Chain A
């Protein structure tokens, strides 16, 4: 909760301090899993609950960053990014289920008295192939959807509605037992990951560190893209697509590239989320989840890279407090937050801080 204050200070002191603060935050994030390895009862020990909670929020932060790339830069508001996140998660979950089931069938299939694995489960016992699926499933879906959507020049609110419909359709599909992904229960009761006990402190610490690494890598990638000519073309695309076409750029390729990249980032985040949280089910694809992701980005500040991370942290931090203190009011609060941000903070928290800093 003290991050906004830090950023205010940052704006006053310039880039050197903001680098220093970034380094401190990174240091804390790296220290957390190490502290969790301390013996029980030690004063500095970080509980498994805290570590999982922060790890989960970091995964959400990656989704926020991915959404910001397409919404903040290219102006494509996706209300279906939860689908890509869940697909990555399910791909990882398939591997974990196979690992838990050993040579037999995953438990939910035995309940359905299936005798053999559906064809699309082939090879999922191999970690490497599961990792390929983590990238391919969201990536190919985004490629096909994006190709047709951008070819037909669908944009604005129509595009948002279609992405929302897509994730809803995905949720309904995955809810069915016949689809072969565990129906509404999804996947759970994971045991091991590459032979390591998934609930062991050491495994949790490594997964957490991997999440931090992915977040840092995504941030770096986003920063490089935003600074490249490619990033400027995206901004131009957002503001004046016609002008860009008459300058000789084909917008479709640019949109498709950033769209697929964003989906793949979400898939990777989902793959790291599942083993940390220990469950994946179709509710991850529910439309509200994707809308919530848009709230993170809007609250933090579109097109600012750091803003969405802040937004994801703030909203999820508030959520974990709210859902304990006033569980029935959380959704009202979230809705009110979105309305307030749209009305009074068009550039989000980061925009507000920048303004303060300039005054």
Chain B
């Protein structure tokens, strides 16, 4: 009983250009090695506009993230940081503008699932893990593999996959809790678990929304080390309010204000910028 209509490929959004959407990402399955980023940018946002009922959440935004770069995004509340992540991950469609992943994938035409499969991972502001499952199972589900219904019905972990999960468990220091339900973890541990799940996905680009919120100082320091070690292999985009943390990881900082880029440069440069001071401190 093989109903063709159950297969997710059939159920993906039908509005996909040839060569940009599904074809380019290999029939909705694992692709990443083939991401075409010859021009050195993993993410290109050009003249993005998003408005909700007349309110312009994002206004002519231009942003380029290089391959292997670790970029921090800062900005006051309501600057459009989360909306920008929603645009990149397909949760919100921009009213106008271009969003490219690598040189060939048009993010504005892909579904959330396709974007995730193409290699963009996202950590939410509020840590979101599968609370009823154990830490190990959370990582297992996130692992980069065939994620169709049929594959999941018969899936068994290979030795290699187990090793990978163990590695990530060690990296995020949750080895002692591997068989605990994720719902019983502390806030900081959940943050780490979610980061671990991103690592299991092995994405090209990681979007991290306030990753150190609710972490202790030691945990924050450890996260900074972790992110620095990831940069190079992956591209990271970190939204964070904690300036100390930003200073410890970022080589490049973008300041958003009222839905567009206000300043870009090293942390010292943007902190010296008069407009940034004005936005953050008021007149």
Contacts and interface: CB of A to CB of B under 8 A. Distances in A.
Interface string B168-212: 000000000000000000000000000001000100000000000
Contacts of A245: 112-113, 116
A247 B197 contact: yes
| Chain A contact surface mostly | helix
Contacts, number: 95
Contacts of B144: 248
B35 interface: no
Interface stretch (A27-35, A251-259, A317-325): A251-259
A242 B127 CA distance: 12
Contacts of A256: 5-6, 11
Given A143-B5, A236-B141, A246-B112, A229 B132 contact: no
A74 B5 CA distance: 19
Contact of A250 (B8, B122, B128, B129): B8
A257 B149 CA distance: 8
A18 interface: no
B87 to A, nearest CB: 14
A303 to B, nearest CB: 8
A70 to B, nearest CB: 15
B130 A230 contact: no
A247 B137 contact: no
Contacts of A257: 6, 149
Nearest to B123: A246
A246 B121 contact: yes
Contacts of A238: 132
A235 B128 contact: no
Interface string B123-136: 01000111111000
Given A151-B11, A236-B133, A230 B124 contact: no
Interface string B91-125: 00000000000000000000111001100011010
A350 to B, nearest CB: 15
A239 B131 contact: yes
Interface of B: 3, 5-8, 11-12, 28, 89, 111-113, 116-117, 121-122, 124, 128-133, 137, 140-142, 144, 147-149, 152-155, 197, 201
- Which 10 A/B pairs are nearest by Cβ-Cβ distance? A250-B8, A253-B8, A248-B116, A229-B155, A236-B130, A230-B152, A248-B117, A253-B149, A243-B128, A250-B113
23 contacts: A151-B11, A232-B140, A232-B141, A233-B152, A235-B130, A236-B141, A238-B132, A239-B133, A240-B130, A240-B131, A242-B124, A243-B130, A246-B112, A246-B122, A247-B141, A247-B142, A247-B147, A252-B11, A253-B7, A253-B11, A253-B148, A254-B152, A260-B6
Interface of A: 143, 147, 151, 225, 228-230, 232-233, 235-236, 238-240, 242-250, 252-254, 256-257, 260
